[in-house]
Amino acid sequence: MKIDSKCTSLAVAAIDIGTTFSGYAFSLTNDWGRVFTNQWNGGKLISPKAPTCLLLKKDFSESFFGYEAEDKYTELTSEESHKEYYFFQRFKMILHQDDIKRHTLCCDVTGRSLKAILVLEHFIRCIKKILYQHIAAFLGINEDDIDYVLTVPTTGGEHAKLIMREAAVNAGIKREYLAIVLEPEAASIYCQYLQFANKYTSSRVLGVVKPGTKYMLVHLGSGTADITVHQKCEDNTLEEVLPASGGPWGGKAVDDQFIKFLSELVEEKVWENFKSEHMEDYLEITRSFETKKRTIKPDKSGSTRMPIPQALVKLCTKSHRVKTFKEVIEKNEAHKNNVSFMSGKLVWNNDFFRGFFKKTIDGIVKHMDEIFQESEARDVKIIVMVGSFSGCPLVEDAVRKNFCNYSIIVPEEGDLAVLKGAVYFGHIPDAVSLRSARYTYGFQTWPEFNEDIHPEEKRVQCGKLSRCRDVFLKIVTKGDKITAGFTKSQFFRVPCNRDNVLECGLFISEKKNPKFVDDPDCKLLGTLQFPFSQSNQNSDTLVEEKLVFGKTELKFTAEDIYNSGLKYEINFDLEEI
């Protein structure tokens, strides 16, 4: 069966900003299954993604990202001319903060700060520039001939995604050409539609499973693990059975364990000094460990070796007042039996080295098991593993051993499933037909006070009536199935002698049945300022507040029914809610 692209532009391009690595991909509308990526070179590493780092001059006149940013910053530090630049690494993690705002700051490697939204803007602008040049090499094309898709994680607060979208628009992507897709959804779309690009691949993955089949999608990125349950529908679209959930069990957690070990081994002050003064050597250590993460075997005996830069050896011996690095290790009571030093290399027993991964892998397995206990997931028999960390042999081995009765699928180029799936989504925007509401949605209301159900402290007097303030009027319940175009509304009669402006608040809650909008688990998503005209200032007004769920956005509107045409609205990213 052939599926045609629904994109009206000449091409779809996707940008995937990861915690550790980021990249872009694109395909032309007339041959959408053939997805192109770039190849980035960083020392011995050749990868379709580059490090998530940004080198930005203070006056914003110069910017670099990826390996080029790392190499340029190394050059600047060696020349002592780096103080006029910011150097940001792994800044995506700031998006996981629930309280991120437009003024939230992001710190670079030296502790200097800049607004996070500006860091994201310049990073996206750097990738977009190279991406456009790549596409232009294929055909004569204008900016408006490209639809863009930006991936976002499921974790993090709703404001983080709004900031991501705003950063993309500020970076030069027009809002009408920009779509947003959840990372697990993009990965699932890739696995589902890979068969339709089968002239470029031998992998059919989920295209061959029967409609009605459920599967667990385990997306293991560099920052987090996001696990969800999807179901294939009769029309080959996807239904979200359980919304994504997870935790900090990505590849970065393993990196942190490794860096913690090195810092403890040489002492923290020495390690920080080495990191600030010898950036090139520090980057070489991190790149070397990245290679080891991808190749370490689950059952192989023997040892793992990694070269240690001479600069670190000199700093250690000087600080510890010894002659050799072996003596540094011997003085360390915590680790002297865990590592040795031979021919300029640190040497670990493989069992100890695999210990850097244990806490992270245990977290992944435990959360998967918890999801399988959910009633909606008890009939799931297929596990699909995608994301950069899913390619780690230790991770795959642990999943296969702990879930031996399940069919485990690791698709071709699973580390690019999110990136390429985002391109597919740009061509097939209705690939996900049914989503689960991630929150309970409601409006703020002040109904007539009822002594049987309303607490006395909520009573307020409005003219002759006693009302209960701040009641959460539920419109959509967490877990409800939502299709694109799904609409819910509520009518409110606003009395006369009111203020000139009516504030219409939209709230969300993690609970299914919240009572009041100021409960600890409730959050204000947004407020519409609804002004009244002078002509109807002294008469009752009927206002309709409405929620409309689109493919990528949630629209919140308020309309004066008695005065047609008086309507206001706010758009929110659907994936953030």
At 170 the three-state DSSP class reads helix
Indicate whether 548 and 508 sit together in one domain.
Answer: yes
Return the minimum-mean-pLDDT range out of 39-48, 150-159, 234-243, 350-359.
Answer: 150-159
pLDDT(567) > 90:
no
d(CA 489, CA 567): 14
Angle at CA of residue 284, ends 279 and 287, nearest 5°: 125
pLDDT of residue 347: 95
State the amino acid at position 393 in one-letter form.
P
CA torsion 507-512-513-519 (nearest 10°) is -50
d(CA 374, CA 502): 43
**Cα dist from 259 to 91, 106, 266, 486, 553, whole Å:** 18, 21, 11, 48, 40
Return the minimum-mean-pLDDT range out of 76-90, 330-344, 432-446.
Answer: 432-446
pTM: 0.81
- Does 47 or 537 have the greater pLDDT score? 47
State the pLDDT confidence band at 195, using cuts at 50, 70 and 90. Answer: low
- Is there a domain that residue 4 lies in? no
Stretch 126-139: mean pLDDT: 90
Stretch 260-267: mean pLDDT: 94
Indicate whether 181 and 224 sit together in one domain.
Answer: no
Indicate whether 20 and 109 sit together in one domain.
Answer: yes
The region that residue 224 occupies, defined by phi over 0 for left and psi between -120 and 50 for alpha, beta otherwise, is beta
d(CA 112, CA 90): 15
Task: Render pLDDT for 446-505 as a digit per residue (tens, 0 to 9).
Answer: 889 999 999 999 999 887 889 899 999 998 998 888 887 788 887 877 655 456 666 778
SS3 of 239-264: EEEEEEEEECCCHHHHHHHHHHHHHH
DSSP track, 456-501: GGGEEEETTEEEETTEEEEEE-TT-EE-TT-EEEEEEEEPSS--SE
- Does 104 or 311 have the greater pLDDT score? 311
Q: What is the number of domains present in the chain?
A: 3
Task: Judge contact between 88 and 106, C-beta under 8 A.
Answer: yes
d(CA 520, CA 515): 11
How many residues make up the chain in this entry? 577
State the pLDDT confidence band at 126, using cuts at 50, 70 and 90. Answer: very high
d(CA 247, CA 390): 15
- Does 411 or 264 have the greater pLDDT score? 264
d(CA 508, CA 338): 49
pLDDT of residue 156: 56
pLDDT(200) > 80:
no
Indicate whether 163 and 114 sit together in one domain.
Answer: yes
Task: Judge contact between 161 and 576, C-beta under 8 A.
Answer: yes
- Is there a domain that residue 5 lies in? no
Query: Could you tell me the CATH number of the domain that includes residue 326?
Result: 3.30.420.40
pLDDT of residue 160: 63
State the pLDDT confidence band at 576, using cuts at 50, 70 and 90. Answer: very low
**Residue-averaged pLDDT of the chain:** 86
Contacts for 61 with CB less than 8 Å, ≥ 6 apart: none
Indicate whether 127 and 229 sit together in one domain.
Answer: no
DSSP classification of residue 542: E
Tell me the β-bridge partners of 474: 442
User: If residue 8 lies in a helix (H) or strand (E), which one and from where to where?
Assistant: none
- The last residue of a domain, from among 410, 445, 470: 410
Task: Judge contact between 182 and 155, C-beta under 8 A.
Answer: no
- Is there a domain that residue 81 lies in? yes
Task: Render pLDDT for 212-240 as a digit per residue (tens, 0 to 9).
Answer: 889 999 999 888 899 999 998 887 788 88
Indicate whether 179 and 233 sit together in one domain.
Answer: no
Percent of the chain with pLDDT over 70: 88
Stretch 49-59: mean pLDDT: 94
pLDDT of residue 546: 82
Question: Helices 279-295 and 66-78 meet at what angle, rounded to 10?
Answer: 150
At 466, list the tokens: 């006693």
Query: Could you tell me the CATH number of the domain that includes residue 459?
Result: 2.60.34.10
Return the minimum-mean-pLDDT range out of 189-193, 302-306, 374-378, 467-471.
Answer: 189-193
Indicate whether 226 and 320 sit together in one domain.
Answer: yes
In 3D, which of 228, 144, 214 has the Cα closest to residue 186? 228
Task: Render pLDDT for 326-355 as a digit per residue (tens, 0 to 9).
Answer: 999 999 998 989 999 999 999 999 999 999
| Domain with 32 in it | 11-202+413-431
At 415 the three-state DSSP class reads helix
pLDDT of residue 528: 73
Return the minimum-mean-pLDDT range out of 70-74, 359-363, 427-431.
Answer: 427-431
pLDDT of residue 406: 94
At 367 the three-state DSSP class reads helix
pLDDT(199) > 80:
no
Indicate whether 374 and 466 sit together in one domain.
Answer: no
The burial of 412, by beta-carbon neighbours within 10 Å (0-12 exposed, 13-18 middle, 19 or more buried), is given as middle
Indicate whether 261 and 402 sit together in one domain.
Answer: yes
Q: How large is the C-alpha radius of gyration of the chain?
A: 27
d(CA 515, CA 518): 9
**Cα dist from 52 to 19, 70, 189, 576, whole Å:** 7, 10, 24, 22
- Is there a domain that residue 1 lies in? no
pLDDT of residue 515: 94
State the pLDDT confidence band at 423, using cuts at 50, 70 and 90. Answer: very high
Indicate whether 225 and 364 sit together in one domain.
Answer: yes
The burial of 3, by beta-carbon neighbours within 10 Å (0-12 exposed, 13-18 middle, 19 or more buried), is given as middle
φ/ψ (deg, to 5) at 92: -60, -25
- The last residue of a domain, from among 401, 431, 461: 431
- Is there a domain that residue 184 lies in? yes
Indicate whether 226 and 213 sit together in one domain.
Answer: yes
Task: Judge contact between 435 and 577, C-beta under 8 A.
Answer: no
> Which pairs with CB-CB distance under 8 Å and at least 24 residues apart come from 370-373?
371/216, 371/227, 371/229, 371/242, 371/245, 372/216
User: If residue 150 lies in a helix (H) or strand (E), which one and from where to where?
Assistant: strand 146-152
pLDDT of residue 91: 85
Residue with tokens 């209705």, as numbered in its chain = 430
Indicate whether 285 and 227 sit together in one domain.
Answer: yes
Task: Judge contact between 31 and 197, C-beta under 8 A.
Answer: no
pLDDT of residue 208: 55
At 299 the three-state DSSP class reads coil
Percent of the chain with pLDDT over 90: 47
